[in-house]
A and B are shown apart, each in its own frame.
Chain A
């Protein structure tokens, strides 16, 4: 059975076996399977999501053939949920695909407990009223919710859940910690065994920069009453000292040392992000606390005690110009320190578990080790209830967005995407959505109605002075509720990606509302 693994090879390189296993365990519910919903699920089914349940009460119409790839001419007149479900199943037979022929709005009203069974619900093309109701249902049921909407050349994606904790945030660029600003005894001892003035040119140019910097920093400290280079002049002077050590201009190890010399001067201690996490009230753990916060509680104790203000060491070092033996020795020194830190944290985890009345072995060694390796990169994401955001948005952010050229279109769309739903509750259709032919008079009428609603919304929010672009209002009416395939594919791609991040518990999901701008592609993430 080499096939399944092979099939997922390109994604296993991103989220690994663990991430894949989480995906395969997940059960997803999709509400409405128009192009936005269908394309979202397509991306998840291909990746091997455990099970999908497609909820849609409508029948396939001709207009679906013009924007949805998961239906074809033979589907017209049949249940859309059924057709989409069977085309999705074709993509991957490892996925359990089910459908429910019912309108999501009805299901939300009549059977809120339905949503309890799922890991995550993806709600597409839902109007405000149902969306707010569903949000509360999912919050209560502890089911994750991802909302996606395509509307003409705009749309949005929003995550809603109470809290999402990420251990493996896998940031793109993260400074490795080599503790060059605070070397521990074993690292110092090893450096002492190496002579920087060695005469053998091969050894000289293959002395790892970590050793060079540890030794040079020590030498510096001796002549600077124990301090490391801190001012700009001192840092430059330090670099010049390194340069002076070079025997030839092709010594890559010294070039690396000069480039990394700032690491000697970086302040000790933890980042503000990590400080915020260990200061969270949830570190006061009890028997109901999730594992994540028990681990954080142990981390906090470690930092305050044996860590001496530092988080546990990761233990991995980047590749650097070096003799093989020097490099391997260094690797072992870093790993040994990481292992010692891990053992200290493990002990603390066990005693906390005991203290709160849980089985001390109920958190595995692997989990703790993984936690230690990622301790500096922990991320906690919290999301407001959408209703709270709607009723009391962050006004100062709002004002900022309205006056910032980069954000004004996005925030305009944000308001108008809500305004069209209000319009629909009044007129029973979206602005610019007419039966058959239309006249410019009708269109103008819709434009002014939408404007009134939009301005009303702004004043409800308390942003009276803000200006809603006429051009955008026009655009919204022109769209007439259209769901365009490429917009749906874009929105669906983002929704699927966020679902993957939430389920694998890897990478950092977006916080805020993503507003798609299909006009000039200057989409934005708004945090309100």
Chain B
């Protein structure tokens, strides 16, 4: 199922080393189901008809509207062939239509301007918005008003009062409710015809099939860990040709935004073609961490006193009881302790607000920066889907603190990236045991890994250390690797071991793509389908 959707999703054409994306041109050629179900309906752009079918679009309404769109696209196809293309002047999408239906010179090379492009955008482009916070709210609004109709949003958080200065889809009475659900509802109420499916859960709760159904993933996140996770998922869809180039059909584009105060970034990631999140992980500065000895022995700043109370004193006093940053009583306790410590050392500046800021690592956030960064991301998403304009390549930094600075940097992909890189392809017989595999990678000329620990999708297959783990995983050594990889004919293994080059031994982590030569008994193929 997953592979069939991905198969005809998009095509990337690489001319003159410029990446041009056209998600929809290839899509449009494929499905033949469009000819079905042609019934006469009112134009969905007529506001009176939209309001009568209730402004909160449910699935049923949406189906209906899609049918209308198909009807329209049939008509438009006819008119587009003539010398004077028809635009729906005065209609709802008048402005967007100009961009999608008119030819231009500064567009993607696969751009096929026609009134139908918008219909296809509405019908086939499926976007996942990850995060329904400051960026997520903006992204949902922006995507809905740039013609996307099939949107899903995932967020595990509930609404807090401190969100309200920028997360404009939420009201005071929404505090405590799931962000994803409220955000989806508000945008559907306002923009008729758009369908937004909310997922109130952790990103890890969804399986690969869930993520594989989307054409574009838009990230509105504030943590490096969450970005890494989604990046890993998206890169796991990559397939490579014989020359280790990523197959176009396996590339799932991402747009990613981030903000802090008046500063932010927006980027486009075409995994396998442009740097993935992991290739440029150094762009994110390391978090401030104070040495424990400073906190314990030589505190000098208010933050030192707060972190002492938070990281050291709390544990000493409340043996075993975990600190909960969302419990006001806990925060109050840390604050009071920090004040005491500051007085003891003659340090000034401990406030309750600073205590919260330090303990929760609060990042200052305002509406305008979120709006700017999200708008850049959503515009790039539209270009990825329709090729209606040349694209940003590939990383925009924005700083509005002192004057106004924007800069686009074209970062290059790290070919040895463990996440988006091709790694080393090894073909194996399905009977090869893990022990044999470990010996093989010790001798493989591209790897030469000795004493490797081996993991598969985060699962330890064999660990050299510590002894407890070694003992726990030792029994795997005699099992066929094929079985350990859930009898899938293809998968990615990470091996962490030692290599020797120029007399120096270093530890290194390698990505290994395994393709099993399946013994022709007909059973394994079925297992593969079942396992996926």
Q: How far is the CA of A9 from the CA of B167 in the complex (A)?
A: 13
Q: How far is the CA of A171 from the CA of B400 in the complex (A)?
A: 10
Q: Are A438 and B84 in contact (CB under 8 A)?
A: yes
Hey, which chain B residues are within 8 Å of A478, CB to CB?
A: 98-99, 102-104
Minimum CB–CB distance for A145 against chain B, Å: 17
Say whether B404 faces chain A, with CB atoms less than 8 Å apart: yes
A497: which of B171, B368, B374, B396 is its contact (CB, 8 Å)? B368
Q: Are B164 and A479 in contact (CB under 8 A)?
A: no
Q: Are B145 and A69 in contact (CB under 8 A)?
A: yes
Residues 359-376 of B, flagged 1 when their CB comes within 8 A of A and 0 if not, give 000111111111110111
Q: Are B367 and A47 in contact (CB under 8 A)?
A: yes
- B369-388 contacts to A (CB < 8 Å): 369-372, 374-376, 378-380, 382
Minimum CB–CB distance for A46 against chain B, Å: 4
A9: which of B353, B392, B393 is its contact (CB, 8 Å)? B353
Taking A62-B47, A475-B105, A484-B99 as contacts, is the C-beta distance between A520 and B393 under 8 angstroms? yes
Say whether A103 faces chain B, with CB atoms less than 8 Å apart: no
Q: How far is the CA of A90 from the CA of B172 in the complex (A)?
A: 10
Hey, which chain A residues are within 8 Å of B266, CB to CB?
A: 521
Q: How far is the CA of A31 from the CA of B124 in the complex (A)?
A: 38
Q: Are A439 and B402 in contact (CB under 8 A)?
A: no
Residues 501-515 of A, flagged 1 when their CB comes within 8 A of B and 0 if not, give 100000111110010
- A421-476 contacts to B (CB < 8 Å): 432, 434-440, 443, 470-472, 474-475
Say whether B519 faces chain A, with CB atoms less than 8 Å apart: no
Say whether B527 faces chain A, with CB atoms less than 8 Å apart: no
Minimum CB–CB distance for B302 against chain A, Å: 10
Q: Are A67 and B105 in contact (CB under 8 A)?
A: no
- A59-103 contacts to B (CB < 8 Å): 61-63, 65-69, 72-74, 76, 90-92
Minimum CB–CB distance for A228 against chain B, Å: 27
Q: Are B85 and A438 in contact (CB under 8 A)?
A: yes
Taking A486-B378, A525-B403 as contacts, is the C-beta distance between A69 and B51 under 8 angstroms? no
B368: which of A62, A440, A493 is its contact (CB, 8 Å)? A493
**CB-nearest residue of chain B relative to A8?**
B165
Q: Are B142 and A521 in contact (CB under 8 A)?
A: no
Q: Are B168 and A10 in contact (CB under 8 A)?
A: no
- A310-343 contacts to B (CB < 8 Å): 319-324, 327-328
Say whether A169 faces chain B, with CB atoms less than 8 Å apart: yes
Hey, which chain B residues are within 8 Å of A74, CB to CB?
A: 51, 55
Hey, which chain A residues are within 8 Å of B468, CB to CB?
A: none
Minimum CB–CB distance for B107 against chain A, Å: 9
Say whether A492 faces chain B, with CB atoms less than 8 Å apart: yes
Hey, which chain B residues are within 8 Å of A501, CB to CB?
A: 400
Hey, which chain A residues are within 8 Å of B85, CB to CB?
A: 437-438
Q: Are B142 and A511 in contact (CB under 8 A)?
A: no
Residues 384-421 of B, flagged 1 when their CB comes within 8 A of A and 0 if not, give 00000111110010011111111010000000000000
Q: How far is the CA of A12 from the CA of B94 in the complex (A)?
A: 40
- A28-66 contacts to B (CB < 8 Å): 35, 39, 42-43, 46-48, 61-63, 65-66
A480: which of B98, B142, B294, B400 is its contact (CB, 8 Å)? B98
Q: Are A507 and B401 in contact (CB under 8 A)?
A: yes
Q: Are A67 and B145 in contact (CB under 8 A)?
A: yes
Minimum CB–CB distance for B136 against chain A, Å: 14
Q: Are B94 and A66 in contact (CB under 8 A)?
A: yes
- B77-100 contacts to A (CB < 8 Å): 79, 83-87, 89-96, 98-99
Say whether A356 faces chain B, with CB atoms less than 8 Å apart: no
Minimum CB–CB distance for B172 against chain A, Å: 8
Hey, which chain A residues are within 8 Å of B102, CB to CB?
A: 432, 443, 478, 480
Say whether B470 faces chain A, with CB atoms less than 8 Å apart: no
For chain B, the count of residues having a C-beta within 8 Å of the partner chain is 91
Hey, which chain A residues are within 8 Å of B336, CB to CB?
A: none
Say whether B50 faces chain A, with CB atoms less than 8 Å apart: yes
B161: which of A3, A48, A62, A522 is its contact (CB, 8 Å)? A3
Hey, which chain A residues are within 8 Å of B460, CB to CB?
A: none
Q: Are B192 and A65 in contact (CB under 8 A)?
A: yes
Q: Are A434 and B89 in contact (CB under 8 A)?
A: yes
Hey, which chain A residues are within 8 Å of B98, CB to CB?
A: 152, 432, 478-480, 482
Hey, which chain A residues are within 8 Å of B86, CB to CB?
A: 436-437
**CB-nearest residue of chain B relative to A470?**
B105
Q: Are B168 and A46 in contact (CB under 8 A)?
A: yes
Hey, which chain A residues are within 8 Å of B365, CB to CB?
A: 10-11
Say whether A496 faces chain B, with CB atoms less than 8 Å apart: yes
B401: which of A10, A172, A323, A492 is its contact (CB, 8 Å)? A172
Residues 204-225 of A, flagged 1 when their CB comes within 8 A of B and 0 if not, give 0010000000000000000000
Minimum CB–CB distance for B16 against chain A, Å: 15
Say whether B190 faces chain A, with CB atoms less than 8 Å apart: yes
Residues 444-486 of B, flagged 1 when their CB comes within 8 A of A and 0 if not, give 0000000000000000000000000000000000000000000
Say whether B347 faces chain A, with CB atoms less than 8 Å apart: yes
Say whether B440 faces chain A, with CB atoms less than 8 Å apart: no
Say whether A383 faces chain B, with CB atoms less than 8 Å apart: no
A46: which of B92, B164, B391 is its contact (CB, 8 Å)? B164
Say whether B106 faces chain A, with CB atoms less than 8 Å apart: yes
Say whether B138 faces chain A, with CB atoms less than 8 Å apart: yes
Say whether A490 faces chain B, with CB atoms less than 8 Å apart: yes
Minimum CB–CB distance for B446 against chain A, Å: 37
Taking A62-B90, A63-B90, A475-B104 as contacts, is the C-beta distance between A521 and B376 under 8 angstroms? yes
A520: which of B165, B192, B300, B391 is its contact (CB, 8 Å)? B391
Minimum CB–CB distance for A453 against chain B, Å: 19
Q: How far is the CA of A176 from the CA of B23 in the complex (A)?
A: 51
Q: Are A437 and B84 in contact (CB under 8 A)?
A: yes
Q: Are A63 and B92 in contact (CB under 8 A)?
A: yes
Residues 44-56 of B, flagged 1 when their CB comes within 8 A of A and 0 if not, give 0111001100010
Q: How far is the CA of A21 from the CA of B55 in the complex (A)?
A: 38
Taking A479-B99, A486-B379, A492-B371 as contacts, is the C-beta distance between A73 and B47 under 8 angstroms? yes
Q: Are B372 and A493 in contact (CB under 8 A)?
A: yes
Say whether B301 faces chain A, with CB atoms less than 8 Å apart: yes
- A109-139 contacts to B (CB < 8 Å): none
Q: How far is the CA of A521 from the CA of B395 in the complex (A)?
A: 10
Hey, which chain B residues are within 8 Å of A508, CB to CB?
A: 401-403
Say whether B345 faces chain A, with CB atoms less than 8 Å apart: yes
**CB-nearest residue of chain A relative to B192?**
A73
Q: Are B190 and A519 in contact (CB under 8 A)?
A: no
**CB-nearest residue of chain A relative to B113?**
A478
Say whether A196 faces chain B, with CB atoms less than 8 Å apart: no
Q: Are B141 and A43 in contact (CB under 8 A)?
A: no
Most interface-central of A39, A47, A478 (chain B CB within 10 A) = A478
Minimum CB–CB distance for A311 against chain B, Å: 19
Say whether B432 faces chain A, with CB atoms less than 8 Å apart: no
Q: Are B165 and A47 in contact (CB under 8 A)?
A: yes
**CB-nearest residue of chain B relative to A490?**
B375
27 contacts between A and B (CB under 8 A): A9-B165, A9-B356, A10-B166, A11-B165, A13-B357, A14-B366, A39-B371, A62-B92, A72-B191, A73-B47, A92-B164, A169-B402, A319-B301, A321-B298, A328-B346, A435-B89, A438-B87, A474-B104, A478-B99, A482-B96, A486-B376, A490-B371, A496-B367, A497-B368, A501-B400, A507-B402, A519-B389
Interface residues of A (CB under 8 A from B): 3, 6-14, 35, 39, 42-43, 46-48, 61-63, 65-69, 72-74, 76, 90-92, 152-153, 169-172, 206, 319-324, 327-328, 432, 434-440, 443, 470-472, 474-475, 478-480, 482-487, 489-490, 492-494, 496-498, 500-501, 507-511, 514, 518-525
- CB-CB nearest 6 A-B residue pairs: A493-B371, A493-B372, A485-B145, A482-B95, A489-B375, A490-B375
8 other A-B residue contacts (CB within 8 Å) besides A437-B84, A475-B106:
A6-B161, A67-B96, A72-B55, A478-B103, A482-B96, A489-B371, A520-B391, A521-B392
Interface residues of B (CB under 8 A from A): 45-47, 50-51, 55, 79, 83-87, 89-96, 98-99, 102-106, 138, 141-142, 145-146, 161-162, 164-166, 168, 171-172, 189-192, 261-262, 266, 294, 298-301, 345-347, 353, 356-357, 362-372, 374-376, 378-380, 382, 389-393, 396, 399-406, 408
